[in-house]
Structure 1
Amino acid sequence: MKTIKDQIGREITLKTTPKRIISLVPSQTELLYDLALENELIGITKFCVHPYHLKATKKIIGGTKKVDFDKIKALNPDFILCNKEENSYEMLPELEKIAPTYFSDVNTFQQAIDLILHLGSILNRRTEADNLVHKIEFKMNDFKQFIKSKPIRKVAYFIWAKPWMVVGNDTFINKMMQLNKFENIYENMSRYPKVEINRIRHEGDPDVVILSSEPFPFKDEHAMEIASFTNRSITVFGDGEMFSWYGSRMLLAFDYFKELHKKLESHF
């Protein structure tokens, strides 16, 4: 038996190394798979799309904000993995009645690395976690060399339409934007604020508008509507997973960012 602390400072007592894990976070589901924990993973959400085959082999217990507690209880888990941003904190009392529940809280690159290493330690996958972290850090350091010569560009990163919502400060996405030398015109706002697009010039008139592939399905008409309120911006349909999925998805993110910058250079 051991007591650990999750990323929001809660103490959790584990009787043994968890062998029946439920993940309520898509990016962390992928991480568990890449830490060689597919057999231990027994339940996931309907939004856990990587790797794709898990939706056919694991029990779907609902979404990220609303889960079926009876389905979770029936699976008899010994560890439930949540995230402060992805999941509703109000679910915690019910989840804790079923199994020890770990809440991650990732807003920086270092917190993402810490999560990988901590789960590796808790779930007896230290070697796999260490190897993954080394690969991610290698990719990141290589990208830092690549980005040195790139110009700073003013960017607005949209996540929702009508109401229009963007990425502000205190988010993992904003940290990834900073790494890309994207100056977030809404960085003075917290988290995911609602904005008026007719004020986008006043807020900073971005060089680039990124419309995220998740959680909202942006279309051409949304791009055109935003563009009508800017002077000169280039609109990009961005891969939201690459900007927001902390965990093993970061292995792919830095190569994606390189291609994104090459695409932007062709427009400026």
Structure 2
Amino acid sequence: MRVVSLVPSLTEAVAATRPEVLVGATDWCTHPDGLDVTRVGGTKYPDLDRVLALAPDLVLLNEEENRLADAEALRAAGVPVRVTFPRTVPEALDQLGELVAAIGAPDEPPWLRAARRAWAAPPAPARVRTAVVPVWRRPWVVLGRDTFAGDVLRRLGVVNGWAGDPERYPRPALDVLRARAPELVVLPDEPYRFTADDGPEAFPGVPSVLVSGRHLTWYGPSLAEAPALLAAQLAAPV
């Protein structure tokens, strides 16, 4: 079997399960370290000629990270595609289970079993807090409704204050964000790399926490350690 992944978290999942079938990945596929496969460009604009040259039996995409036009072009070329789009932790775990079966794993891999155990009993929060969760600035973009990352935070005691917005990724002005009076600002290090010096200063008087974007937004092997790691980061304001 020959698999090309256009989704960084799924690249990591395949590499941790059946590395021998993975023949191509995007330039943004950074895990596992030292991944040695053909690179096919970005997630939004992959080089489809390079993908097709790898003669894949399956190409992995995500409805949010990849473009519909690329999925349609691959299908038109006769290439089977698998498109994921989990909005909750249980959906992610189920879709990962379906994925590992589709790539020929005889059983669920240890990392997926560990992820199921970890999320069956995540760390209990000391208290529930309402937060704003920026994922970009200039302009500001925050988590809105129906997002996987929002569900991850909810299960760790952090309620997304913008979860009721009509948009999945609203772009409110900074003064509007401040006016919502969040109890917490959650700043991931991807896709925008927020740091202690870039982000917290925009919300004076509100506790800010820096969290791992990979553990907040990726669904793959990182899910096994995400509950404990994120819970610790959420309890450590900068």
Shared fold by TM > 0.5? yes
Query: Structure 2: which 5+ runs fail to align?
Result: none
Query: Structure 1: which 5+ runs fail to align?
Result: 1-18
Contact 2:14 2:100 in 1 (8 A): no
Determine if the alignment matches structure 1 residue 197 to structure 2 residue 174: yes
Contact 1:77 1:98 in 2 (8 A): no
Question: Higher helix share goes to which structure?
Answer: 1
Q: Which residue of 1 aligns with 2:39?
A: 60
Q: CA deviation at 1:224?
A: 4.6
Structure 2 length-normalised TM: 0.92
**Superposition pairs of residues 171-250 of structure 1, within 5 angstroms:** 171-189=147-165, 190-203=167-180, 205-220=181-196, 222-228=198-204, 232-250=205-223
Q: Which residue of 1 aligns with 2:9?
A: 27
Q: Which residue of 2 aligns with 1:76?
A: 55
Equivalent residue letter for 1:102: R
Which moved further from structure 2: 252-261 or 77-86?
A: 252-261
Contact 2:133 2:160 in 1 (8 A): yes
Question: 2:121 aligns to what SS in structure 1?
Answer: helix
Contact 1:161 1:222 in 2 (8 A): no
Structure 1 length-normalised TM: 0.83
Q: Which residue of 2 aligns with 1:254?
A: 227
Paired-residue identity, %: 27
Contact 1:23 1:44 in 2 (8 A): yes
Question: 1:103 aligns to what SS in structure 2?
Answer: strand
Q: CA deviation at 1:221?
A: 5.0
Question: 1:85 aligns to what SS in structure 2?
Answer: coil
Contact 1:168 1:184 in 2 (8 A): yes
Tell me how many residue pairs correspond in the alignment: 236
Q: Which residue of 2 aligns with 1:103?
A: 83
Question: 2:133 aligns to what SS in structure 1?
Answer: strand
Q: CA deviation at 1:101?
A: 0.9
Q: Which residue of 1 aligns with 2:130?
A: 154
Contact 2:7 2:61 in 1 (8 A): yes
Q: CA deviation at 1:113?
A: 1.2
